[in-house]
Chains A and B, each alone.
Chain A
Amino acid sequence: MATVTLTPFNALVGFSVGTDEFTPALAEARFASAAGATSEFVDITGKVTKFASESGYDLNLNYAQDWATAGSLAHFLLAHNGEEATVTLQVPGGSFEAKVTCVSGDIGGTGNAVATASVVLPVKSGPDFTASGS
């Protein structure tokens, strides 16, 4: 059996929505796996058979708020709350593209600390991987 080598990497490489790149604002951009529904069947001998549907994804974003810059990620999510957007997450070797529904994040924060926000955007379709150079 061949040994498959590992090339780990430091996230985060790049994150953009449409044509705007928001990487500088982000502490985390992650397509988080959300397990599909499962059910189990027990036959008369007691044997358990498990059925599971395909898993889905949520897009987790942790970012720093910026209301001074027009077109910041915070402004974008507020302006497009509930709307569909195409996002691209770059990784070494390629990129993932997905359609998500925008969710507006927190506004304001703790005294004398950097104002942040954390949102979970449901992924409607994708993420689909495209190898770089292809």
Chain B
Amino acid sequence: MSPEHHLDQVRPAVRAALVELLPAGWDVKAGIATPTTLAQPTLYLEYSRVDPLPEAPLSQVRCTFELTLTTMLTDLAKGEDWADAALVDLVLALDAHNWITWSGAEKSVVKDTYLAWKVTLTALASTTPTPTNPEE
């Protein structure tokens, strides 16, 4: 497993993976942030939990993230059309990923204005010390 998946770098690693998976123009926030006025589709990435991985408890953990996918559209009907379609893109991208997966999505409204999907993500991360030379 490459050093990008190490527990001490898991939040930037998940953000980088999401940026790679998602269409250009989506703003992926790096961590907990207060929603403001939105100008573009925005993803809030909240790192919320770490559990030992039962399949390899001495070297791996499962990190849980709450991902909020919001639209900048304030018209609820248009916002819902956009958010529902965007969710499909997001979950298809996540299904193809080999160390990030998702376990459920729930529709919500952010700031009483923007339609959103809250998606629970889990990412695998290593807890073993990073080798100085991974080839060894």
Partner of A24, one of B54, B58, B95, B101: B58
Alpha-carbon separation in the docked complex, A64 to B124 (Å): 12
Q: Is the interface of B mostly helix, strand, loop or mixed?
A: loop
Set of chain A residues within 8 Å of B59, measured between Cβ atoms: 23-25
Interface centre among A12, A23, A64 (most CB of B within 10 A): A64
The answer to whether A27 touches B95 (Cβ under 8 A) is no
User: Within 8 Å of chain B (Cβ to Cβ): is A112?
Assistant: yes
B128 touches A24 (CB 8 A): yes
Is A104 in the interface zone, CB < 8 Å from B? no
Look across to chain B and name the residue whose beta carbon is closest to the beta carbon of A62: B55
Q: When the two chains form the complex, which single residue of A12, A69, A114 contacts B53, counting CB atoms closer than 8 Å?
A: A114
Q: Shortest distance in angstroms between A119's beta carbon and chain B's nearest beta carbon?
A: 14
Contact assessment for A112 and B58 in the assembled complex, using a CB-CB cutoff below 8 Å: no
A116 surroundings in chain B (CB, below 8 A): 55
A78 within 8 A of B: no
Cα–Cα distance between A104 and B56 once the two chains are bound (Å): 18
Q: Which residue, of A62, A63, A112, A116, has the highest number of chain B Cβ atoms within 10 A?
A: A112
CB distance from B14 to the nearest CB of A (A): 16
Q: In the complex the two chains form, what is the Cα distance from A68 to B60 in whole Å?
A: 16
Residues of A within 8 A of B (CB): 12, 23-27, 62-64, 66, 68-69, 112, 114, 116
**Chain B interface residues (CB < 8 Å from chain A):** 1, 53-60, 95, 101, 124, 128
